[in-house]
Structure 1
Amino acid sequence: MRRLRNRSLAVLATLGALTLTGCGTGAHAPGDGAASAGSGRTITAHRLMRLTTVHQETGMTLLEGPVFGEDGRLVVVDVTAPAGKPKVMSVDVRGKTARKVFTDSRGAYTSAQFSPYDGRLYLSDFAHGEIVSLAPDGSDRRTFFTGEVDGARMRPDDVAFDRDGNLYVSDSLGLSEGEARGRVVRIDRDGRKATVLADGLAAPNGISFDVDHRGLWISELTENRISYLPVGERAGTTGRHTAVRVDGGIAQTDSIAVDADGNLYQGLHGRPAMAVYDRYGERLATVEVPARAEGLESATNVAITPGGTKAYMTVSGPAGGYLYTFDALAEGVRQSNGG
C-alpha cells in the first residue's frame, strides 16, 4: 500500500512522529479473488456507516481501536485526525450516529481500551510514546505513562489489560529503522513500573490475551506473523514462539482480537479484510468487504459485541473511514476489543 504509506509518512511529519505502525506497503483491491487455499470460508462484511472523510490537513483518515463501553456505545479512534477534529468518537451502532468524545492538538492515538480496574479509557499515543487516559465521557485527560523503558522511549501501538488492570503494550520500537527491536511492555496499573516482557520483535502491532489470560497473542507487522507469549504470574515470560504465519501477500498484520471460543481475528493493513484462525493456527475464514466497495485499503481492527456475535470492523482508505459489520464465529468477550 505504497500510496497510503507515503501519505502516512507525510502525516507523521506533521504530527511530529517518525512513522506509523498501522501503515502497510501496498494496496489490494476490495474483494479481489476468492480466499486462498486453506483460508476457510469467506464471510462478507456489510457497510454500517461512514464515520470520517479524508482530512485535508493530513491527507488521510485511519480508524482504529474499536471498543465497547459500559453504555453499549462503540468507541473508535481516528489515528490521523488533526487538531479540532474528533480523535476519539462514540458511536451508537443501532442509531447509526456518532459524536466527538475527545480531541487535542498533539496526539496520534492508535488504540483504545477501558481498564477493568478504574473504568477509564486508555489510549496509546504513538507520536509521543505515551499512554494517556480519559474519563468515559472524554474529559479529565491524564498522562498514565511517559518516559523511557530500559533506556528507550516506546512507540506504543496497541494495548491490552489483564484482569487486575495491569496494562500490556505492543511497542513498535525500531519500525522506522526497519529493525526488529520491538517489545512487549507491561505497565503496572498505577503507572509507576514498566517491565519489558519480550524484545527483538518485528514491529509488534496487535496484542490480546487469550481466553484464559495465560498468554498474549502478538501480531508482528513486518514479518506477517502472530506470536504467542506465555505470561507468568509475576510478569515473567517463557517460551515465546511463532504461532501463525499469515499469508498476507502485500498486506500486513495489524490489530488482533479474540472471541469466546479463542479464535483470532487478524486485521490486515493493505487489504480491506481480516483473517480468522483458531487457537491452533488453522485458517477458519476470511472476512471481506464486497467487491463493489471502492477506495478502501485496510481493515485494521474489530470489536465483537459483548455476549453477542455482531462484529464491527474498522475499514479505511481514500473513500473515508467506515464501520462494517459481520457475524463473528463466537460471542464477544473483553479480549474481543481489538486493542
Structure 2
Amino acid sequence: MQRHSARPLAALATIGTLVLTGCGTESANAGAEAASSTGAGRTIHAQKFMRLTQVHDETGMTLLEGPTFGKDGGLFVVDVTAPEGEPKVMRVNVGKKTLRAVHTDGRGTYTSAQFSPYDGRLYLSDFSHGEIVSLAPGGGDKRTFFSGEVDGAQMNPDDIAFDEAGNLYVSDTRGLSENEAHGRVVRISRDGTKATVLAKDLAAPNGISFDLNDRGLWFSELTEDRISYLRLDGEGKVTSRHTAIRVDGGIAQTDSIAVDADGNLYQGLHGRPAMAVYDRHGERLATVELPSRTEGLESATNVAITPGGTKAYMTVSGPDGGYLYTFDALAEGIRQSNGG
C-alpha cells in the first residue's frame, strides 16, 4: 500500500500484501455559512471529537472506516490497516469519550461494519480475502458468513448494507488494482448461501446505502466520482439503474455513503477531509469541512448519525492518526445513517 503522501483507499488493492507482510477546535454548531454562487451549498464546520488511532509502524498508516451504532448505543469503528494485535474493530462510548478493543486477528482487512437487522450480529467486509464475517454484538464468536467466488470471480468487498429482511448488499471493488471497470454490486441472501450480481462493469464501487424507503440502492464509484441509483423490486431484483449525481471532487474521490431521515446523502471524500451532502434529487446542500488550520488528515471516509438524533460522527484519517469529528446533520439518523 502507498504511504500517507498518497491516497490510502485507492491503494486498497495491495493492502492484503502489506498487512500480511509487512487539529482544530471550532464548534460543530458554528452554523451554516451563506450559500456560495458555485452551487456547493453551505459549509458545515465539524469539530474534533477524539483521536482513536495512531499510524501503525507495521503498516505505515491508519485508516478508520465503517462507523455504525449498536443497539447498546456504542459506536463501532474499524481500522482498515491495523496489524495483528492492534484493535481492528473498536467500540466508542460517545458519552464518556472512551474506547475499547472489540476484535483483532492476524488475517482480516476490514473495510466496513454493519449490524444485521435479522440476527443482530456485527458484519465486517474483509477486502483482502473476499469474505464477509460476523461477530457477536459485543465482539467475539467470529463466523464466516460468505466466502468464495461470485460468478467465477472472488470479490474485493468494500462497503455493505442490509435490507430490512437481513439480506446483504456489497460494493465489490474488483478491478481496482488494474484500473479496470470490473467492479460489481452483489446481493447475498441472509443465510449466506446465494450471491447474485446486481450490477457489473463498475469503476471501483465503494459506498453503498439504501434510500429512505428501501426502494433502491445508492452506490458510489471511486474512480469515476459518481453516484448511481439501483431501483429494486420486492425480491431484491434490479428494475432500473442510472447515474444520479456527478461529484465535483477535484483531486478527491467518492468514498462511503450514508442517508438520513430526510433522504439526504452524505458522501465521504477520499483524498480530502470533507463530506459532500446532497438531497435525493442531486442538489448539493452542504459541504462538511474540518477547521481551516487542520493538518495531517487526508480523507473523511464515512459517517454515522445518532439514531433519532442529529449528532454525526465522521471518520477522518491521515498521517496524524485516525479521528472522529462531529457535526450536526441535516436530519435525524436512521438505519441507513450508519455509513454503508
1:75 and 1:272 map into 2 onto residues whose CA distance is 20
1:285 is aligned to: 286
2:331 is aligned to: 330
Say whether 1:14 aligns with 2:22. no
Question: Could you tell me whether the CA contact under 8 Å between 2:7 and 2:270 is conserved in 1?
Answer: no
Query: Structure 1 length normalisation: TM-score?
Result: 0.92
Any stretches of 5+ residues in structure 1 without a counterpart?
Answer: 18-33
1:68 is aligned to: 69
Cα 1:7–1:127 shift into 2, 3 Å: closer
1:14 and 1:203 map into 2 onto residues whose CA distance is 20
Secondary structure of 1:218's counterpart equals: strand
Question: Could you tell me whether the CA contact under 8 Å between 2:52 and 2:99 is conserved in 1?
Answer: yes
Residues 272-316 of structure 1: CA deviation (Å, up to 9, x unaligned) = 000000000000000001011110000000000000000000000
Residues 232-263 of structure 1: CA deviation (Å, up to 9, x unaligned) = 12222122100000000000000000000000
Residues 109-161 of structure 1: CA deviation (Å, up to 9, x unaligned) = 00000000000000000010000000011110000000000000010000000
1:37-56 to structure 2, matched below 5 A, reads: 37-56=38-57
Identical columns (%):
75
1:107 and 1:81 map into 2 onto residues whose CA distance is 9
Report the residue type matching 2:6 in the other structure: R
Residues 52-89 of structure 1: CA deviation (Å, up to 9, x unaligned) = 00000000000000000011010000000000000000
Report the residue type matching 1:250 in the other structure: I
1:3 and 1:176 map into 2 onto residues whose CA distance is 15
2:15 and 2:161 map into 1 onto residues whose CA distance is 26
Query: Structure 2 length normalisation: TM-score?
Result: 0.92
1:273 is aligned to: 274
Cα RMSD (Å): 1.6
**Greater relative CO, 1 or 2 (CA 8 Å, sep 6+):** 1
1:183 and 1:9 map into 2 onto residues whose CA distance is 15
Using the TM superposition, name which of 286-295 and 234-243 deviates more. Answer: 234-243
Question: Could you tell me whether the CA contact under 8 Å between 1:180 and 1:201 is conserved in 2?
Answer: yes
1:58 is aligned to: 59
Report the residue type matching 1:208 in the other structure: S
Question: Could you tell me whether the CA contact under 8 Å between 1:11 and 1:59 is conserved in 2?
Answer: no
1:35 and 1:178 map into 2 onto residues whose CA distance is 35
Counting matched residue pairs gives 323
2:6 is aligned to: 3
1:281 and 1:261 map into 2 onto residues whose CA distance is 13
Any stretches of 5+ residues in structure 2 without a counterpart?
Answer: 22-34
Question: Could you tell me whether the CA contact under 8 Å between 1:15 and 1:127 is conserved in 2?
Answer: no
Question: Could you tell me whether the CA contact under 8 Å between 1:135 and 1:141 is conserved in 2?
Answer: yes
